[in-house]
Amino acid sequence: MTEPAATLVRLPRAADEDLDLLLLIRHFELALLDLFGRGELNGTTHTCVGQEYVPVALRRLLGETDYVFSNHRGHGHYLARFDDPEGLLAEIMGREGAVCNGVGGSQHILRDRYVSTGVQGESLPVATGAALHLKRTAPGALACVYIGDGTWGEGAVYEALNLASLWRLPLLIVVEHNGIAQSTPTARQMAGTVRSRAQAFGVRHHGIETSDLNAIRHELAPLVAEVRFEGRPLVVEFVTHRLGPHSKGDDTRPPEVVEHARARDWYGLYAEAHPEQFARADEAQRARVAAIVQDVSARPLSGWDPCA
């Protein structure tokens, strides 16, 4: 799995709540890119356009007692966990109602048992520590950490795999393999495969090459149960596609590469397979996000007292 696959399939009908969440994340991310384009956001942001189905598929496999560790491209992870677009947008825009009082911004969120960071590889050893804590204090709970294919250049990844395997920790490592590390194709910067690297530490690997939510859950449910109850760490590698830029406007890929990804986007495939259900849900979530943008944009700036 050094490059994303090119398999085109007709997607089965998804539950309405799953489709709503997929479309909420899609339109939320598109709204951020639009706000940046109009000069209404500062800093930077990394959208998950094209990869929304990964956290949505995992949502039903994770519980409230599980820890979730996200990364710089984490808006979809957060929304799948909390369904709180108002709080997240307020955080990104620095407005009242922000999840972290506007201090964390797009990449650095802390809420309950959810943490995101923009430092590549940092979350994996922290998640390993959380998994050790859960093994000792909350049997049946797990730590889930999202990383990308580019993160496999970080030594912390291998230190964490080593300890997770040695100590048989309930650690679920989700790899969103979109084939490019910022602007460098993965095939040009990573020798071998994610599978072989995981197996070198005695850690199981399972590859996913579909965006069919039901099929993904069917495959992963028994494996995730083994992570929980047998302490068998697992690497799940999603072969996916990043449609948008690395950040808000720095896409250096040739047009044909982007078009290749767009032709495999779940959004278009689902619209074609289930036009009536899709059209209703798409219109509803597009309107929901537009209303949220209008509301949050009109709020006063958030305040933060470090001594409070």
pTM: 0.92
Residue 44 belongs to some domain of the structure: no
pLDDT for 4 equals 42
pLDDT for 188 equals 72
List pLDDT tens digits, range 206-229: 999 999 999 999 999 999 999 999
pLDDT for 272 equals 93
Averaged pLDDT, 166-171: 98
Residue 256 belongs to some domain of the structure: yes
Q: Does 187 have pLDDT greater than 90?
A: no
**pLDDT band per the 50, 70, 90 thresholds, residue 6:** very low
Q: Does 73 have pLDDT greater than 80?
A: yes
Residue 64 belongs to some domain of the structure: yes
CATH number for the domain spanning 224: value is: 3.40.50.970
In order of 171, 210, 226, 227, 297, the CA distances from 136 in angstroms are: 13, 35, 17, 14, 45
| DSSP state string for 190-229 | --S-HHHHHHTTT-EEEEE----HHHHHHHHHHHHHHHHH
Closest listed residue to residue 217, CA positions, set 77, 58, 64, 52: 58
List pLDDT tens digits, range 33-64: 999 888 898 877 888 889 999 999 999 999 99
Averaged pLDDT, 279-299: 98
* Maximal C-alpha separation, the chain: 55
**pLDDT band per the 50, 70, 90 thresholds, residue 245:** low
Residue 222 belongs to some domain of the structure: yes
Residue 243 to residue 153: CA distance in whole angstroms: 23
pLDDT for 5 equals 42
Tell me the residue range of the domain where 194 lies: 51-71+106-270
Residue 185 CB coordination number (10 Å): 15
- Dihedral angle at the C-alpha atoms of 243, 148, 211, 78, nearest 10 degrees? -90
Residue 90 belongs to some domain of the structure: no
Q: Which residues contact 221 (CB under 8 A, 6 or more apart)?
A: 61
Residue 81 belongs to some domain of the structure: no
**Mean model confidence pLDDT for the chain:** 91
Residue 99 to residue 280: CA distance in whole angstroms: 30
Residue 308 belongs to some domain of the structure: no
Identify the residue with better confidence: 51 or 247: 51
Q: Does 291 have pLDDT greater than 60?
A: yes
Q: Does 143 have pLDDT greater than 80?
A: yes
Q: Which residues contact 53 (CB under 8 A, 6 or more apart)?
A: 22, 211, 213, 216, 240, 266
Are the CB atoms for 56 and 22 separated by under 8 Å? yes
SS3 of residue 121 by DSSP: coil
State how many domains the chain has.
1
Residue 12 to residue 10: CA distance in whole angstroms: 6
Strand order in the sheet with 110-111: 110-111, 114-116, 67-70, 143-148, 171-177, 234-239, 204-208
**pLDDT band per the 50, 70, 90 thresholds, residue 120:** confident
Closest listed residue to residue 251, CA positions, set 15, 47, 51, 67: 47
Averaged pLDDT, 135-153: 94
The percentage of residues in the chain with a pLDDT greater than 90, rounded to a whole number, is 70
Residue 277 belongs to some domain of the structure: no
In order of 124, 166, 178, the CA distances from 149 in angstroms are: 13, 23, 7
